[in-house]
Structure 1
Amino acid sequence: MASRKLALGLTAARRLRSRSTVLVLSSPLLEGSTSTSHVAQSTGDAPGPSAVDYRSILPEDEYHKLADETIHDLLEKLEEYGDSLQMDGFDIDYGNQVLTLRLGELGTYVVNKQTPNRQIWLSSPRLSTFVHSGPSRFDWDAPTNGWIYRRTGANLVELLQKEIGELCGTPVELS
């Protein structure tokens, strides 16, 4: 009997997760507008805000152009930096749209494209930089002409320049 109740409960939970949620919001700020309410629709398994349609923010071809330019510029400048630096374990590699910078015992940086989100992701060995787990997600910001981490406002190139220079003990120019 208990297993049947559990099965019925799981079935009901699945049905609830698969339905759309529609919220109708009234706002006194909208008085005088032609509409007295706004409709926000969310679909999916998780509660919370709807997923952003990144295609409407930055077209895919423009995203690839900007992300590829940024990653290739970083690759060239980091290769030059590595040639001038005497450090065991310094290695830079680029393949499959992933830039990997190894700094020996100091750690590894990984910079890669995330096309569906129109982002560049960064994994950093510096634990103090980020208070969350996982990669940091940088979005293109046209007004600043750079990749910006929305949680902190950090610029990708400036952040890498600061961290790598501090870790290696020698300033690096990446911009």
Structure 2
Amino acid sequence: MRHVFPCGTPALDFVGTLQARRAPAPIERLTTPGLLDSWFVESGLLSREPGSGQADLRAATALREAIYALVGARLAGRPLPAVAVAAVNRQAASVPVTMCLGATGTSRYGTAGQAPADLARATVEMVAGAEADLLRECGHPDCTHVYLDRSRGRRREWCALRTCGNRAKAAALRARRRG
């Protein structure tokens, strides 16, 4: 499967694996342990699939929701929820993925429990650091991706121009033609 990575950091892309969060039926992109494995590899967190099980999938999606709660609190200017802080801190304290340098570059090896530790560490740095001011939610009404706005003028509106930006521009064009 091909996953999407429009958000600027694996932690936010991981949050985006539950799409259209405000819709009556959000779209879950990690429905099986195999999809979690493929996400780990496609995101670059691991070089090969770790062989996740159902418990790994439950733990990973729980971490995803904790990350989303922290990011949502930062976006809204609210205090960080203690339960989410504890969940992310617990995962960040786990054993990290092992990186190895080889003749063809680097490789990243670990278990399905180690890859989320890297996501949790990145979340701690992002939410508590200077990048927290760069957090934005996609401007498309049906999208709930959160991204880091690293654009020059800090005026990026969409998670990805080729998807949400294109849809918004096409809708604006149709509205102008009707009007």
User: TM-score normalized by structure 1?
Assistant: 0.29
Greater helix proportion: 2
Instruction: Answer 1 or 2: higher relative contact order, Cα 8 Å, separation at least 6.
Output: 2
Higher Rg of the two aligned structures: 1
TM-score between the two structures when normalised by the length of structure 2: 0.28
